[in-house]
Amino acid sequence: MEADFVIVGAGSAGCAMAYRLSEAGASVLVIEHGGSDIGPFIQMPAALSYPMNMSRYDWGYNSEPEPHLNNRRLVVPRGKVIGGSSSINGMVYVRGHAMDFDTWAEMGADGWAYADVLPYYKRMEHWHDGGHGGDREWRGEDGPLHVSRGPRRNPLYHAFVDAGRQAGYETTGDYNGEKQEGFGPMEQTVWRGRRWSAANAYLRPALKRPNCDLVNGLAQRIVIEEGRAVGVEIKRGSSTQVIRARREVVLAASSINSPKLLMLSGIGAASHLAEHGVDVIADRPGVGANLQDHLEVYFQIASLQPITLYRHWNLISKAVIGAQWLFTKTGLGASNQFESAAFIRSRAGVPYPDIQYHFLPMAVRYDGQAAAEGHGFQAHVGPMRSPSRGMVTLRSSDPAEAPMIRFNYMSTERDWKDFRACLRLTREIIGQEAFKPFAGKEIQPGADLQSDEELNGFIAEHAESAYHPCGTCRMGRADDPNAVVDPQARVIGVEGLRVADSSIFPQITNGNLNAPSIMVGEKVSDHLLGRDPLQRSNAQPWVHPDWEVAQR
């Protein structure tokens, strides 16, 4: 069992690399612990709350008790299936703001500014505007990853955008194009009614080539000989074997499992490795540090009209929707229902959006567990750039044991200030004329919660992860002691080993992380092949002309 490249993890970035490396003629073996993604729970977009709660498809991780969130343990779903988290996520497609990537470059990720990454976004996309407008010259039209828009038939999707406009905010026809800031349609990785995961977009076509194969097993450690990674030790059933790499080993196992694997292999903070009896190969204190995520709350409003998805919240209706989807791939089952979005700035002096909205014409938890009583709608809202940082560490040296995940959410005063701003700005938007025919009482937080203290109490009890963990193998310059990989994604201090997934993000990007994770796989595949990067873009993104003095 050997190949030119051995990739650990058939997730968003891993699938993209398997496709590009095999397309170039290199032999590739992809190691994946999870199984098949065949079946309606994954493939049907509207069933998105199921796979992330099924142990068959999810690693089942939880955070340690979070001290600033009433010691709650938050769930940390990560895909354990081909396609990785792109097979269990909400299918929302957000590239990130141009200034996110310029910040990466300033933090030492040379060659990862927006001008550098935009050509990779265009290469990976097959964009369908659905007649809703958008920025064609900013988008890709022949890549493997189909990106579409929902039909937006429910009047609430339009009420949300109209209310934003009435409150004085910008609108945008394409937040993934020139202008992210504003209210407009949301995009999804759905194609012809099916979840268009990285497995469907990249891995299936790659596996049809004779030089690409999938190996099922649990990666236990990277085999390093004389300072060079030469393979990966995996466990299959009761036996252990080594998959050897002739050229390089690439970790694409997620922001949780990539740092865990590095630590199990002797790459990490020397003192922490010593605690667990792991021999140190490279003392890199940044491994597992710099953990970031997005937190959000579900701002829920009762609906005065019976037009929400609540009318389908019964077994008969679900069966009808499921049957229509199974036979025709159309109907409500064919969308993730996140069809309107917004990105706004919390205050004057913030140069680009730091608040995101997902709008849903139903009041329900993300995990599908609790629907609010009767008809309602909700906006998921939260700050984009929390200053809080957490860490992933080993629980033990046993590869089968889950790591310890501490996000350290809401650990600064700025976190609380930003979150309260989110809630108050949302109330103002819901109070606009466009929502008058629809908006009843505030279910959550509840209109009686007004003071800073009351809102803080609500946040501590109800904030949930948006499931965007990243940053734990941070990219930076080779002489940066806290960087884990250099700007070509090479692990500093070990030859023949790279990391390519959301763990290399120096700072979390605006919005959902699936698109930038795939982009990382696309770009790192060029580095692996020794190719020149794609030609930089000259596109100039929109920035609010009065950002220094105006909030909207």
Structure tokens at 370: 């609790």
Return phi, psi of residue 517, to 5°.
Answer: -65, -45
Q: How many helices (H) and strands (E) does the chain have?
A: 13, 25
Question: What is the dihedral angle through the alpha carbons of 422, 174, 89, 522, rounded to the nearest 10 degrees?
Answer: -120
358 is catalytic: no
Q: Return the closest-CA partner of residue 245 out of 532, 520, 79, 494.
A: 494
Cβ atoms of 500 and 11 closer than 8 Å? no
Q: Return the closest-CA partner of residue 74 out of 88, 85, 63, 58.
A: 63
Cβ atoms of 87 and 195 closer than 8 Å? yes
Length of the chain: 552
Q: Return the closest-CA partner of residue 262 out of 232, 217, 292.
A: 232
The one-letter amino acid at 283: D
Cβ atoms of 435 and 299 closer than 8 Å? no
User: Hunting for tokens 């935009």 — which residue is that?
Assistant: 118
User: Hunting for tokens 């142990």 — which residue is that?
Assistant: 55
**What residue spans of 329-469 are helical by DSSP H?**
413-430, 452-462
Structure tokens at 92: 């929302």
Residue among 358, 375, 468, 527 flagged as catalytic: 468
The residues that are catalytic are 468
